[in-house]
Structure 1
Amino acid sequence: MAEATYDSSNIFARILRGEIPSHRVYEDEAVIVFMDVMPQGQGHTLVVPKAPSRNLLDADPAVLGPLFAHVQKVARAVKKAFDADGVTVMQFNEPASGQTVFHLHVHVIPRFEGIPLKPHSGQMEKPEILAQNAGKIRMALAN
């Protein structure tokens, strides 16, 4: 099977270029952090490197250090912002693993005892809820 190439028309590349709106939490030269529009739990956040790669398998290793430093910072912030009991961090590679957007990204989801993750059903969250959750995480990052 031939290696798939990066497709610059994927939705995260389009968000990075500002062609599609997102509820941004944080951005710097390395990453953008925004709310998942189909959250599996309250506060479901995505950490996306700006460097183009399909996933972890073809990413430049130099991208991974800064990416995962940001994942840790965001995980701490979402845990604090939602007073969560824990945090799930997920990253998928290729369709067989469940990857549906082919730009490297990491899911950060606050978790609560006894509350399972919702399925990734395609159900969009209300924009005002996403905006409110992004604000809570931005405050936690600032403190």
Structure 2
Amino acid sequence: MSADQLHRPPCVFCEIVAGRLPCAKVAEDETTLAFMDIDPGSDGHLLVVPKRHSTDLVDISADDLTATTLTAQRIAKVLSTQLGADGVNVLNCSGAAAWQTVFHFHLHVIPRYLDKTRDRLELPFEPGAGAAPEDLAKHASLIAAAL
């Protein structure tokens, strides 16, 4: 174990996966665990995590990412029938600047409701503002060149 690992606090999601911390479990298979978010943005907001630790979207293996995404999709398919959701957001925050607070890759599966008494989320930005075509082309070019 490295000196960094000795001084790093335990990963809360790894502790949940290991059964050392409680959770309201929704689904589990050999690769993933889904459980209710303790600070939900809407009724039924839950998290899907890979059992194997990875820090974020950049760190996760393709196999674990696939399994986590498929579990999120399986759960999203039942939210309208079981909870009356009018829609679903699937959200990943990768890095502190992107609002990640637990540094173990996870997907938020967030049922959305027209009834705002069941849905406390609001958009953090205003869609529809658009971007200049030259800015879009510049960013596309830089990203494409790096791929």
| TM-score with structure 1 setting the length | 0.74
For residues 56-82 of structure 1, the C-alpha deviation after alignment (integer angstroms, 9 at most, x for no partner) is 111111211111111100111223211
SS at match of 1:69: helix
For residues 89-137 of structure 1, the C-alpha deviation after alignment (integer angstroms, 9 at most, x for no partner) is 1100010000000000000111112625348xxxxxxxxxxxxxxxxxx
- 2:131 maps to what in 1? none
Q: Following superposition of structure 1 onto structure 2, how do residues 8-19 of structure 1 map, counting pairs within 5 Å?
A: 9-19=10-20
Amino acid at match of 1:15: I
Amino acid at match of 1:40: G
Runs of 5+ unmatched residues, structure 1:
120-143
From the CA coordinates, give the structure whose radius of gyration is larger: 2
Q: Following superposition of structure 1 onto structure 2, how do residues 1-143 of structure 1 map, counting pairs within 5 Å?
A: 9-113=10-114, 115=116, 116-118=119-121
Amino acid at match of 2:109: V
Give the conservation status (yes or no) of the 8 Å contact 1:85–1:113: yes
Give the conservation status (yes or no) of the 8 Å contact 1:78–1:109: no
| TM-score with structure 2 setting the length | 0.72
Counterpart Cα distance in 1 of 2:79 and 2:11: 26
Aligned pair count? 115
- 2:144 maps to what in 1? none
Q: Displaced runs of 4+ in structure 1, greater than 3 A?
A: none
SS at match of 2:77: helix
Runs of 5+ unmatched residues, structure 2:
123-147
Q: Which has the higher contact order (CA 8 A, sep 6+)?
A: 1
Q: What fraction of aligned residue pairs are identical, expressed as a percent? A: 37
Give the conservation status (yes or no) of the 8 Å contact 1:30–1:51: yes
